[in-house]
Chain A
């Protein structure tokens, strides 16, 4: 009987090995391990055996059964793996083909620069103030210590619409309007970005429309040295940690003292190159301590309050930062130009 079992085992394992698919395998399983299978048949004849032989043969029969089952399992998982592998191989694609493009635009470089500056000052506790682009002569000039006939009005040839209404030549009227709203109570801490207009012929360095971003702080005990601190923070953030700044005396009708700020050249670090015109310094912005007349006109007591203001041109900063050589690019909106500022 043992021989018979041994033979069945060899026979079954042989068939398992030859099975081509899961169906063949199932047939083998039914044929050998089924209730009507040969092993069951063999076990039915166990009654004829002696009491000593019976457990030995019984154990052996179970052993054979387990071996066959093990082989079946092994083969089954091998067949399954092969089936999956075949399925996957049929599903193979060319991963080198280009992907489906995701439609995505990006901000205009001027917006990118303005946003960067806005975010910097927002993080320092400033808010953003805005005002109309068509302004009155009062807010654009008079409230800023530029009465009619003041020679400094020549610095800005303006687009007047009527005698009293014009396209603002600077964003400073927003400062005047904001201070007025505060009704003599500090602190005021704003930046005001926006479009401004001047009668210039458009060329590589001039544009009749351009952007400005100005800042204003009015409070008790605001000092020129504080302005220096704010501007230094700005310069390092925008143009790199190792930038140095330099203040030069200048003139603006709405500030006194007035300064211009230069930064050490970010290209040559002060050695002199074409960007800084061999001086090592690049002019970035104008600033100063708010003129007492401007404070008074807006309702602030200039004995109690002081303030500083600064203003810069996003076009100039973008041109420096990205190496753009012609201001007209900003307004032509050539798509090949716009697309270059994906990560700006």
Chain B
């Protein structure tokens, strides 16, 4: 909301500067986002009178003017505006003047003709082009004939004003108008509000003889008032009104339309002026549109309506979409003489529906949506009618033709001073409270600190005690509220075990060399299903109105986004990367989403290119499967899950079929690790890339064993190394499992230390060497015990896999 400082001063006495005022308003509740000076550094612009205007001898598009710039001084000025003409009062930047952007005006010669200054358009004076009245949009601005040559043009154009831009929260729709802001400022500055004059000398005619009003549903439209103003003369509105409209961001059109907009800004009441003669009937009927009904709106667009929209009709056809936009057929035009002025209260839901569906947001619709002052509709109608009489020569017919209730009763809200002080932590007295309510213009009754406050209809946001407490608190001043510390029971805070474990996972992975990434949860529908390792049927979850296809569907895996990160970096020539992410994925097993989808915290990583590098020592090792598996093994150790995790060869969409392992916890899949499918690597234009994905939620929900101290071995251990010849396809992990099972309680460690698949082996065979460590913490082992256990191992290996000791 843009508020003109000069306009505001008309209703409330302000003796401080615009920026001081802005500071006070901000501190007491409405954020002033900006104070803009309309004079954007302009000086030396005066009113000039064009005494003579002739064609430039050497240029078709230029005119040479003789301009009286005051005190009898007549300057020759060359002007390129198409609308410059003899007899006009214009704004002249004389030599030495400065225009916005520090543009200095000097004497110049244009195509051989001397020019002592410049005749200005409003745009050249810093007014936004889209606010300049249409007739002056491409030329100079013509000022009223009573402007005095030589006087300050900025005064006439109100360009010495300041505009306050208010950032209004939804509860303060009462400040969407100048009088509302005046009330607020009056409370802050302890001043009174002066309201404009709305008295009218009505004509002999009666409005009810011209029009009837009928509302079909009072729920949609609680009140509708129509006034008739006859014999208006359409023309430009006075300059002061145009200036205020422009300062508030509205383009002047003509006097009638300008008046409706002016009162909209002044009272916050949307108004609409119909050309009475073009209504097509003598009745107004407000009803729901029928589904598919059409109307041509003011902007000449054909609009198709729905039955949730409310329309103003002439008894037959729609002539306006209620609260949103008028129709083209009944638009006020230059030949309009009789006006029907609409002042109504439409339900915000109806206006919102139409404004949203039609994509039309106007000053009017946004006010209806946020809620207007129910009891100010009539006053605003009177104000507009009086201005139409005064500024457009109209004759106001007596009376307002109404349907619905003109005003509603206000209500009161109770407030207890001691409860207020308890909530704020203050010691505000009843007297102080009473004086604040007075400043706010709230009526009240008080006894023993119990207030009963009559809430004015302009403040529908105040409905409960806490609202009143806030009003008192903010006018009292939040800077006067003391700082205290919570007086609560000392209960322990801290992380849950799950939260602590998630932090551990992050710290571990960072310690292992991976950088944490944070990516978007929304991806494309296609990518959302990539890398899924769920056995059940899952359904992607797409948002109803995505901003783009790229960000439309919730992820079921973190990997597609991590791969995007690799690509992003690859495109910037960073090819060696190790990253991980911890974040939620969303799994939906319902064909139609009725209940919330399942959410799991996943932790996933992607490593590509060189992982270990120490160049001058000749080490430059690119990532391989075992780098990632090693990281996961370490992680499982951190989580105390090593014993329960297995890695089984498996296939996952988009993964290398021969280089992927499914990670299982107690035999149930919790993730996978492996190389990206080479085809995908090629698509992404990345080097060999290894990834892992783990369902951290599943990993962390398992109970893990309490740590119990194991006695340190006091007796020597016995180590036996064995080299086995087995079939090449046999996974080493299977051998380890069998060795561990067969070795019994004495076998404490099994380590694979050699793998040989070279040409010294028989075809289809490989050799694997293990080191087996036997010990008993309680005593020294005898040779026989070890031999028995070890033989058991060898026998099992032979039975299960035909494994032979390598000779």
Using a CB–CB cutoff of 8 Å, the interface residues on chain A facing chain B are 97-98, 100-101, 103-108, 110-111, 115, 121-128, 130, 132-136, 149-152, 154-155, 159-162, 165-167, 187, 189, 195, 197, 199-202, 208-209, 217, 219, 221-226, 228-230, 232, 246-251, 253, 256-260, 289, 291-293, 306, 330-336, 338-339
Tell me the nearest residue of chain A to B482, going by C-beta. Answer: A225
Tell me the nearest residue of chain A to B515, going by C-beta. Answer: A105
B467 neighbours in A (Cβ, 8 Å): 256
Whether B485 and A229, one on each chain, are in contact in the complex, defined by CB atoms closer than 8 angstroms, is: yes
Whether A292 and B492, one on each chain, are in contact in the complex, defined by CB atoms closer than 8 angstroms, is: no
B29 neighbours in A (Cβ, 8 Å): 248-250
Q: Which of B170, B520, B554 contacts A154 (CB 8 A)?
A: B170
Q: Does B512 interact with chain A (Cβ within 8 Å)?
A: yes
Q: Which of B76-84, B139-147, B158-166, B574-582 contacts A (4 or more CB under 8 A)?
A: B574-582
A256 neighbours in B (Cβ, 8 Å): 464, 466-467, 469-470
Cα(A123)–Cα(B493), bound, Å: 7
Q: Which of B28, B352, B584 contacts A149 (CB 8 A)?
A: B352
Whether A330 and B518, one on each chain, are in contact in the complex, defined by CB atoms closer than 8 angstroms, is: yes
Whether A128 and B516, one on each chain, are in contact in the complex, defined by CB atoms closer than 8 angstroms, is: no
Tell me the nearest residue of chain B to A256, going by C-beta. Answer: B466
Q: Which of B478, B496, B543 contacts A159 (CB 8 A)?
A: B543
Known contacts: A108-B517, A189-B491. The answer to whether A208 contacts B551 by CB under 8 A is yes
Give the one of A134, A149, A246, A291 with max B CB within 10 A: A134
Whether B371 and A257, one on each chain, are in contact in the complex, defined by CB atoms closer than 8 angstroms, is: no
Q: Does B94 interact with chain A (Cβ within 8 Å)?
A: no
A122 neighbours in B (Cβ, 8 Å): 493-495
Whether B423 and A101, one on each chain, are in contact in the complex, defined by CB atoms closer than 8 angstroms, is: no
Q: Which of B282-290, B613-621, B680-688, B713-721 contacts A (4 or more CB under 8 A)?
A: B613-621
Q: Does B127 interact with chain A (Cβ within 8 Å)?
A: no
Tell me the nearest residue of chain B to A230, going by C-beta. Answer: B486
Interface string of B425-458 (1 = CB under 8 A from A): 1100000000000000000000000000000000
Given contacts A103-B513, A108-B517, A251-B172, 8 further A-B contacts (CB under 8 A): A115-B503, A125-B488, A151-B348, A166-B543, A208-B522, A217-B488, A228-B482, A230-B486
Tell me the nearest residue of chain B to A233, going by C-beta. Answer: B485
Interface string of B739-774 (1 = CB under 8 A from A): 000000000000000000000000000000000000
Q: How far is the CB of A230 from chain B (nearest CB, A)?
A: 7
Q: Which of B332-340, B591-599, B725-733, B790-798 contacts A (4 or more CB under 8 A)?
A: B591-599
Q: How far is the CB of A282 from chain B (nearest CB, A)?
A: 14
Q: Which of B85-93, B305-313, B565-573 contacts A (4 or more CB under 8 A)?
A: B565-573
Known contacts: A111-B516, A165-B593, A257-B466. The answer to whether A104 contacts B521 by CB under 8 A is no
Q: Does B31 interact with chain A (Cβ within 8 Å)?
A: yes
Whether B520 and A187, one on each chain, are in contact in the complex, defined by CB atoms closer than 8 angstroms, is: no
Whether B545 and A226, one on each chain, are in contact in the complex, defined by CB atoms closer than 8 angstroms, is: no
Tell me the nearest residue of chain B to A211, going by C-beta. Answer: B518
Cα(A250)–Cα(B27), bound, Å: 10
Q: Does B514 interact with chain A (Cβ within 8 Å)?
A: yes
> Could you write out 28 A-B pairs with CB less than 8 Å apart?
A103-B513, A105-B514, A108-B517, A122-B493, A128-B499, A132-B599, A133-B599, A134-B554, A136-B596, A155-B170, A161-B543, A187-B489, A189-B488, A197-B522, A202-B547, A224-B481, A229-B485, A230-B485, A247-B479, A247-B481, A249-B478, A251-B169, A251-B172, A256-B464, A289-B466, A292-B466, A335-B577, A338-B517
Whether A246 and B479, one on each chain, are in contact in the complex, defined by CB atoms closer than 8 angstroms, is: yes
Q: How far is the CB of B286 from chain A (nearest CB, A)?
A: 21
Q: Does B199 interact with chain A (Cβ within 8 Å)?
A: no
Give the one of B170, B512, B586, B593 with max A CB within 10 A: B170
Q: Does B16 interact with chain A (Cβ within 8 Å)?
A: no
Whether B545 and A159, one on each chain, are in contact in the complex, defined by CB atoms closer than 8 angstroms, is: yes
Q: How far is the CB of B143 from chain A (nearest CB, A)?
A: 35
Q: Which of B470, B484, B503, B541 contacts A258 (CB 8 A)?
A: B470
Tell me the nearest residue of chain A to B569, going by C-beta. Answer: A335
B612 neighbours in A (Cβ, 8 Å): 103
A249 neighbours in B (Cβ, 8 Å): 28-29, 470, 473-474, 478
A133 neighbours in B (Cβ, 8 Å): 521, 584, 586, 599
Cα(A202)–Cα(B478), bound, Å: 35
Whether A97 and B520, one on each chain, are in contact in the complex, defined by CB atoms closer than 8 angstroms, is: no
Known contacts: A103-B612, A133-B521, A189-B488. The answer to whether A251 contacts B171 by CB under 8 A is yes
Whether A226 and B493, one on each chain, are in contact in the complex, defined by CB atoms closer than 8 angstroms, is: no
Whether B352 and A334, one on each chain, are in contact in the complex, defined by CB atoms closer than 8 angstroms, is: no
Tell me the nearest residue of chain A to B426, going by C-beta. Answer: A225
Tell me the nearest residue of chain A to B619, going by C-beta. Answer: A100
Whether B493 and A107, one on each chain, are in contact in the complex, defined by CB atoms closer than 8 angstroms, is: no
Cα(A151)–Cα(B349), bound, Å: 10
Q: How far is the CB of B225 from chain A (nearest CB, A)?
A: 24
Whether A187 and B513, one on each chain, are in contact in the complex, defined by CB atoms closer than 8 angstroms, is: no
Whether B516 and A257, one on each chain, are in contact in the complex, defined by CB atoms closer than 8 angstroms, is: no
Question: B residues 599-653 with Cβ under 8 Å of A?
Answer: 599, 611-614, 616-617
Q: How far is the CB of A248 from chain B (nearest CB, A)?
A: 6
Known contacts: A151-B371, A333-B565. The answer to whether A209 contacts B515 by CB under 8 A is no
Cα(A256)–Cα(B466), bound, Å: 6
Whether A107 and B516, one on each chain, are in contact in the complex, defined by CB atoms closer than 8 angstroms, is: yes
Whether A292 and B481, one on each chain, are in contact in the complex, defined by CB atoms closer than 8 angstroms, is: no
Whether B578 and A232, one on each chain, are in contact in the complex, defined by CB atoms closer than 8 angstroms, is: no
Q: How far is the CB of A235 from chain B (nearest CB, A)?
A: 11
Q: Which of B487, B495, B509 contacts A105 (CB 8 A)?
A: B509
Q: Which of A161, A197, A232 contacts B541 (CB 8 A)?
A: A161
Whether A335 and B544, one on each chain, are in contact in the complex, defined by CB atoms closer than 8 angstroms, is: no
Whether B521 and A197, one on each chain, are in contact in the complex, defined by CB atoms closer than 8 angstroms, is: yes
A201 neighbours in B (Cβ, 8 Å): 547
Whether B516 and A124, one on each chain, are in contact in the complex, defined by CB atoms closer than 8 angstroms, is: no
Q: How far is the CB of B594 from chain A (nearest CB, A)?
A: 8
Q: How far is the CB of A136 from chain B (nearest CB, A)?
A: 7
Whether B593 and A162, one on each chain, are in contact in the complex, defined by CB atoms closer than 8 angstroms, is: yes
Question: B residues 506-538 with Cβ under 8 Å of A?
Answer: 506, 509-522
Q: Which of A123, A134, A200 contacts B586 (CB 8 A)?
A: A134
Cα(A167)–Cα(B503), bound, Å: 25
B515 neighbours in A (Cβ, 8 Å): 105-106, 108, 335, 338-339
Tell me the nearest residue of chain B to A157, going by C-beta. Answer: B545
Whether B569 and A223, one on each chain, are in contact in the complex, defined by CB atoms closer than 8 angstroms, is: no
Cα(A134)–Cα(B544), bound, Å: 13
B487 neighbours in A (Cβ, 8 Å): 221, 226
Tell me the nearest residue of chain B to A115, going by C-beta. Answer: B503
A246 neighbours in B (Cβ, 8 Å): 478-479
Q: How far is the CB of A126 from chain B (nearest CB, A)?
A: 5
Cα(A232)–Cα(B516), bound, Å: 31
Whether A226 and B425, one on each chain, are in contact in the complex, defined by CB atoms closer than 8 angstroms, is: yes
Give the one of A104, A155, A249 with max B CB within 10 A: A249
B616 neighbours in A (Cβ, 8 Å): 97-98
Q: How far is the CB of A264 from chain B (nearest CB, A)?
A: 13
The 9 closest A-B pairs by CB, nearest first: A225-B425, A103-B513, A251-B169, A257-B470, A223-B425, A249-B29, A249-B474, A256-B466, A105-B515
Cα(A229)–Cα(B483), bound, Å: 5
Give the one of A97, A108, A226 with max B CB within 10 A: A108
Cα(A115)–Cα(B518), bound, Å: 14
Whether B520 and A209, one on each chain, are in contact in the complex, defined by CB atoms closer than 8 angstroms, is: yes
Whether B493 and A108, one on each chain, are in contact in the complex, defined by CB atoms closer than 8 angstroms, is: no
Tell me the nearest residue of chain A to B583, going by C-beta. Answer: A195
Cα(A161)–Cα(B553), bound, Å: 10
Tell me the nearest residue of chain A to B371, going by C-beta. Answer: A151
Whether B516 and A134, one on each chain, are in contact in the complex, defined by CB atoms closer than 8 angstroms, is: no
Q: Does B26 interact with chain A (Cβ within 8 Å)?
A: yes
Cα(A166)–Cα(B522), bound, Å: 13
B423 neighbours in A (Cβ, 8 Å): 223-224, 289, 306
Cα(A161)–Cα(B478), bound, Å: 41
Q: Does B101 interact with chain A (Cβ within 8 Å)?
A: no
Q: Does B789 interact with chain A (Cβ within 8 Å)?
A: no
Cα(A221)–Cα(B484), bound, Å: 12
Tell me the nearest residue of chain A to B520, going by C-beta. Answer: A209
Whether A108 and B466, one on each chain, are in contact in the complex, defined by CB atoms closer than 8 angstroms, is: no
Known contacts: A151-B371, A154-B170. The answer to whether A209 contacts B554 by CB under 8 A is no
